[in-house]
Amino acid sequence: MAAPAEQLKQAMPYTTRYPELGTGPLDVRPLIDPELFELERERIFKQAWLYVARAEELAEPGDYKLRRLDVANTSVIIVRDRNGEVHAFHNICTHRGNKLIPEQEAQSLGHTATHTLTCRFHAWTFNTDGTLRGVARQESFAGLDKSCLGLNRIHCAEWEGFIFINLAEQPRQSLVEYLDGVADHYAGYPYNEATLRFRYSTVLNCNWKVSLYAFSEGYHVPTIHQGTFPSLATLEHTEFRCFGPHSTSGLYVPPVPGLEPTPVTANLGGRLRASNRHRPHLELLPENINPDNRQDFQFEFSVFFPNSVIHLCAGNGYPGMAIFHHQFWPIAVDKTLWEGTNYFRPPETVSERIAIAHTNALHRNAWLEDTSTMEQTYQALSSGVLDEMVLMDEELMIRNTHKHWHDYMGI
């Protein structure tokens, strides 16, 4: 029996602001069905804008990033040309289809001082703007038109230093149109200052949405992280907003009376908080994030559909940390590449470097706790025992992703 309207509004004040999302259970099938996974490849990952790089990774002309996308059966080169423009191309030589740059792992960085990319198979050479520059023994080809044999271009756009690609022949929307209100919501923070990054990754034996959903709510925090971060027992998860397929929320952690950090954490965290470079910079937050200027602000975190979660800390929630994000790259219906990256402003002293490493390690340990649930969740759901999932109010961002997943899939 459905709850009376007033009772429902009291129990789910955030969710009921978005009646199109509903308040009932969600179907489990999208998390476990192999046929739906194959449809996702075409209807979501070859249609939506995908975050693939930070501008600082391509700081200089000739810098490039190689990004393998198993879900789209392709490999992508994102490169800054000699004029400073960023391009994206399929990593395939237009001669006989060899991979232009050999892959070492899911993502890697490189630089070409000559502003060219040369295939190691037959030495075809391309400029960093994608044009075909040179062909070995060109005279032996009949009627070869180099102007038609440049690298296969991928739509590429940048927002606040976040570089996105779109694999569709013609995207439905520009990147800014796609990001909707979340673009303005996050705009204006000096993301480009956080150039020191620590990346972790692993392949999880679960569906990508199981991983994404685990990082899309704070309901689990007091339970899963009670050993690592007991201070989070008082966590407040609030300020939910939906912007089309994307959603965002704020986390605050009021002090726990009598709970003090360990001496090491107090010492090292204190060094960062005392540094003008690494101290909390709440004044730099965009105006709609932490609108009441609460000093117990932990971070703002958003789900960028389809597969990214971005957290803006401004050095407050975790000492010195500016931002961090997670990405969940599908490999198979039951396999996901999870990547987590922490971003800091570079240290100026050895003690700051040690303190940053300490903050990063604490955060990494929390991620180990998070990822420990995902494979078991997927295994249990795959049994078919549950047809539906029941969500509480603060799992709103899962509900929004789920709704727009259905919209993209057309089912």
Say whether both 217 and 312 belong to one domain: yes
Q: Determine the pLDDT at residue 236.
A: 93
Q: Determine the pLDDT at residue 2.
A: 57
Q: How many CB atoms lie within 10 A of CB 14?
A: 20
For residues 407 and 242, is the Cβ–Cβ distance under 8 A?
A: no
Say whether both 312 and 229 belong to one domain: yes
Say whether both 147 and 210 belong to one domain: no
Say if 83 falls within a structural domain.
yes
Closest CA to 251 of 286, 295, 300: 300
Closest CA to 213 of 18, 26, 10, 39: 26
Rounded distance between C-alpha atoms, residue 380 and residue 395, angstroms: 20
Rounded distance between C-alpha atoms, residue 318 and residue 373, angstroms: 23
Say whether both 209 and 145 belong to one domain: no
Q: At 350, list the tokens.
A: 């050895």
Say whether both 295 and 368 belong to one domain: yes
The total domain count for the chain is 2
Rounded distance between C-alpha atoms, residue 121 and residue 96, angstroms: 9
Say if 102 falls within a structural domain.
yes
Q: Determine the pLDDT at residue 153.
A: 98
Say if 176 falls within a structural domain.
no
We report the CATH number of the domain holding residue 250 as 3.90.380.10
Say if 250 falls within a structural domain.
yes
Q: At 107, list the tokens.
A: 């993502």
Residue type, 388: E
Say whether both 69 and 217 belong to one domain: no
We report the CATH number of the domain holding residue 154 as 2.102.10.10
**Which portions of the chain are predicted below pLDDT 50?**
1
Q: Determine the pLDDT at residue 261.
A: 84
Domain region containing 114: 50-170
Say whether both 357 and 289 belong to one domain: yes
Say whether both 162 and 106 belong to one domain: yes
The CA R_g of the chain, rounded to the nearest whole Å, is 23
Q: Determine the pLDDT at residue 368.
A: 87
Q: Determine the pLDDT at residue 383.
A: 97
Say if 24 falls within a structural domain.
no
Tell me the C-alpha to C-alpha distance, in Å, between residue 241 and each of 57, 235, 238, 277, 300.
30, 18, 9, 31, 11
For residues 293 and 282, is the Cβ–Cβ distance under 8 A?
A: yes
Say if 27 falls within a structural domain.
no
Say if 366 falls within a structural domain.
yes
**Interval 244-259: pLDDT, tens:** 999 999 999 998 888 7
Say whether both 391 and 351 belong to one domain: yes
Q: Determine the pLDDT at residue 18.
A: 97
Picking from 107, 142, 170, the residue at the C-terminal end of a domain is 170
Say whether both 71 and 211 belong to one domain: no
Picking from 144, 170, 196, the residue at the C-terminal end of a domain is 170
Picking from 146, 170, 194, the residue at the C-terminal end of a domain is 170
pTM greater than 0.85: yes
Say if 8 falls within a structural domain.
no
Say whether both 162 and 191 belong to one domain: no
Say whether both 166 and 186 belong to one domain: no
Rounded distance between C-alpha atoms, residue 313 and residue 105, angstroms: 29
